[in-house]
Amino acid sequence: MNQPIGVIDSGVGGLTVLHELKRQLPREKFIYLGDTKRCPYGSRTSEEVVTFTWELVDFLMGYDIKMLIVACNTATAVVLQQLKEQLDIPVIGVIEPGARAAIKSTNTNHIAIIGTENTILSRSYDVALKEINPELQTISVACPLFVPLIESGKYSKREAKEVVDKSLRAIKKDQLVDTLILGCTHYPILQSVIEEVVGESITVLSSALETGAEVSTVLTFSQMHNVMDQDPQAPEIYVTGDLQSVKPLIEEFFQFKSSIVKQVTLA
């Protein structure tokens, strides 16, 4: 099936997932839509998250996508089940893959989760983790300053380190935590700073790697792989906000230099 795979996010953070998807599935076509105009979703009401997410989905459904990846932890926590029930294509979120990766990693069974306010309040990671292993101990911390910092595209390493250090003090005090889940797809952009702050004793994980593996498994099981195109396909990237602030991140940090990058307006 040579139809594209759709990827949605509240902003540019989902490009961390898209980057890994392209690495694992180079022949697949991807269309990415980031709602940079209304980002972040983490402090929005649940009603707003539902409305905005469906607007993103409706846009991508116009491209006849064969699968939808919800690369936003907040939208995954709030709307994923509704999307699965109402769409007739496979829908994959990022929370369960991230939880599985953390369980593989931990030796102490003490796992920390950082995310937006909505993701942390939903306790979606706690539920996903303890459904697999009820003995796990978790500590969850909301980091509302991370996404605005990243989306601005204008911050120094010193500024980032100050924000991260202040936000993660509770986790640093817990001597048993050995695994930290980046419960927002924006956060891997700060991963090197986060690793520096928490130290070598804590493994920092994003859900991108595991999400890519899950997408590949679903494509294989459903016989949906793209068998028409033999060459790697550059993804199409659309954003709802200003292009100037995100283009350098898209082209330089994520190396999507050959991609179509356009600003769109949602109905």
Q: Render pLDDT for 161-187 as a digit per residue (tens, 0 to 9).
A: 999 999 999 999 999 999 999 999 999
CATH code of 125's domain: 3.40.50.1860
Query: Are 119 and 143 within one domain?
Result: yes
Indicate if 85 and 160 belong to the same structural domain: no
Q: Do 216 and 87 belong to one domain?
A: yes
Give the pLDDT score at 41: 94
pLDDT attached to residue 154:
73
Interval 24-67: pLDDT, tens: 999 999 999 999 999 999 989 999 999 999 999 999 999 999 99
Across all residues in the chain, what is the average pLDDT? Answer: 93
**Are residues 11 and 48 located together in one domain of the fold?**
yes
208-230 confidence digits (pLDDT tens):
989 999 999 999 999 998 877 66
> What's the rounded Cα separation, in Å, for the pair 34 and 168?
27
Q: Could you tell me if 139 and 198 lie in one domain?
A: yes
Once rounded to an integer, what is the mean pLDDT over residues 69-93? 97
Q: What share of the chain has pLDDT > 70, as a percent?
A: 99
The domain boundary, picked from 187, 206, 225, lies at: 206
For residues 135 and 45, membership in a common domain is answered with: no
**17, 208 Cβ separation under 8 angstroms:** yes
User: In the prediction, which pLDDT does 254 show?
Assistant: 87
Environment class of 215 (CB within 10 Å of its CB; exposed 0-12, middle 13-18, buried 19+): buried
Query: How much is the average pLDDT of 136-160?
Result: 90
- Considering just the CA atoms, what is the radius of gyration of the chain in Å? 18
Based on the domain organization, do 89 and 214 belong to the same domain? yes
Mean pLDDT to the nearest integer, 245-265? 89
Domain that holds residue 44: 5-93+209-263
Q: Same domain for 181 and 228?
A: no
Q: Which residues are catalytic?
A: 72, 184
